[in-house]
Amino acid sequence: MADRADKAVGPSAPPTTPHLVCRGVKKRFGGVEALRGVDFEVRRGEVMALVGDNGAGKSTLMKAIAGAYLADDGEFFLDGEPVTITTPFDAADLGIQIVYQDLALCENLDVAANMYLGTEPVQEGWHFLPRILRPLDDLLMEKKALAAIDRLKVRTLQSVRGKVGGLSGGQRQAIAIARAVGADSTVVLLDEPTAALGVAQTEQVLDVVRTLRDAGHAIVYISHNMADVFDISDRITVLRHGGNVAIYETAETTTDEIVVAMTRGLDKGANNAA
């Protein structure tokens, strides 16, 4: 791993030290060992694809990083500092945000309301009322939502006042990403962001991911779609049977090599080969 860390990766030559590092992450569900001591890292300003066959442990690893699962064992480092992640709130405090495959948007609320759900700003004054009964600062929410969407260069969105129920899949994905980024995050975990999308919609989401990367976020990208992975990622981490296979520089590998690594692993002693 160390010999790869000193190479500049990606178009904007990001810092070479990893931003988030996980070492020896283990997770067991009853008799099933979902993660058998996985190492993982992602730098700022890069897209790290996380691939593997079904049951390889991608989602488990991601949820352990996001605090949705409590890892049985393993260490997490953020900018070299050891950190503990036990709940989603720990992860959010550390600037780690996850966008789940199902997006978790409320279709009956408008875009701005969805982006600030749970963290709505309230107007100044009104201190005699408990916080949840103070008037919402709608205008601030709309302004910040517009700014966040502008940053991601989502051009097809008509208005942040439209209900999410009326939007396309790509627009919803963009909003879910914008919501994750809006919360001062540095690490964004994307779980199959293009799985349900058509070609144009996929391109729109990939544009959003590129914009995020260029803004210096560390992005973890789970996907089954090799075309997307090669399109967007700077490096690729391959998992198999809950263990590491290898980390590849996207520019120096091929789809075939990745698929073989995913399905058969490397030669003997495949686990922890990287």
Partner 1 sequence: MQPDKAIKTEAMQIDKAPSMGFADRLRVMRESQFGAFVPVLLALVAIWLYFGITEPVFLSPRNFYNLFMQSAVVGTIAVGITVVLLLGDIDLSAAATAGVAAALMAVLVTNVGLWGPVACIIAIFVGIIMGTTQGLLIAYIGIPSFVVTLAGNLGFQGLMLKILGIHGAINMRDPFVRGITTVTFPPFVGWILAAVFVVGFMYVSLRRQARRRASGLELDSSASLYGGIIFFSLLAFAAVWTLNSYRGVPLLVVLLIGMTALLSWVTTSTPFGRMLFAVGGNPESARRVGISVQRMRVAAFGLVGMMAAIGGIVGASRYASVSFNAFAGGPLLLEAIGAAVIGGTSLFGGRGSVWNAILGALVIGSLGNGLDLSGASAADKLMFSGAILLLAVAIDALSRSKEGASR
Six-digit token string for 119: 């963290």
Q: Using an 8 Å Cβ cutoff, are 94 and 20 in contact?
A: no
In this chain, which of 83, 136, 259, 270 binds partner 1, going by CB under 8 A?
A: 136
Residue 132 in the binding site for partner 1 (CB under 8 A): yes
> Residues touching partner 1: how many (CB under 8 A)?
46
With a CB cutoff of 8 Å and minimum separation 6, the contacts of 125 are none
Residue 161 in the binding site for partner 1 (CB under 8 A): yes
Q: Which of residues 137-156 bind partner 1 (CB under 8 A)?
A: 138-139, 142-143, 146, 149-150, 153-156
Q: Using an 8 Å Cβ cutoff, are 81 and 95 in contact?
A: no
Residue 157 in the binding site for partner 1 (CB under 8 A): yes
Residue 133 in the binding site for partner 1 (CB under 8 A): yes
Buried b (16+ CB within 10 A) or exposed e, 68-86: bbebeebebebeeeeeebe
Residue 125 in the binding site for partner 1 (CB under 8 A): no
For the chain, the distance separating the N- and C-terminal CA atoms, rounded to the nearest angstrom, is 6
Residue 118 in the binding site for partner 1 (CB under 8 A): yes
* 67, β-bridge pairs: none
Q: Which of residues 213-272 bind partner 1 (CB under 8 A)?
A: none
Strands (E), 13-168: 20-29, 32-42, 46-51, 73-78, 81-83, 96-99
Closest distance between partner 1 and the C-beta of residue 203, in Å?
A: 17
Using the minimum distance from each CB to partner 1, give the nearer residue, 73 or 102: 102
Closest distance between partner 1 and the C-beta of residue 70, in Å?
A: 16
In this chain, which of 24, 28, 55, 122 binds partner 1, going by CB under 8 A?
A: 122
Residue 165 in the binding site for partner 1 (CB under 8 A): yes
Using the minimum distance from each CB to partner 1, give the nearer residue, 50 or 113: 113
Six-digit token string for 252: 């120096």
Closest distance between partner 1 and the C-beta of residue 125, in Å?
A: 14
Q: Which of residues 78-97 bind partner 1 (CB under 8 A)?
A: 88-89
Residue 131 in the binding site for partner 1 (CB under 8 A): yes
Using the minimum distance from each CB to partner 1, give the nearer residue, 108 or 254: 108
Long-range contacts of 208-211 (CB under 8 A, 24+ apart): 208/152, 208/153, 208/154, 208/173, 208/174, 208/177, 208/178, 209/47, 209/177, 211/151, 211/152, 211/153
Query: CA–CA separation, 9 vs 176, rounded Å?
Result: 27
Closest distance between partner 1 and the C-beta of residue 73, in Å?
A: 26
CA trace torsion 213, 216, 222, 224 (10° rounding): 20
Q: Using an 8 Å Cβ cutoff, are 215 and 244 in contact?
A: no
Residues in contact with partner 1 by the rule CB under 8 A? 88-89, 100, 102-109, 113, 117-120, 122, 131-136, 138-139, 142-143, 146, 149-150, 153-163, 165-169
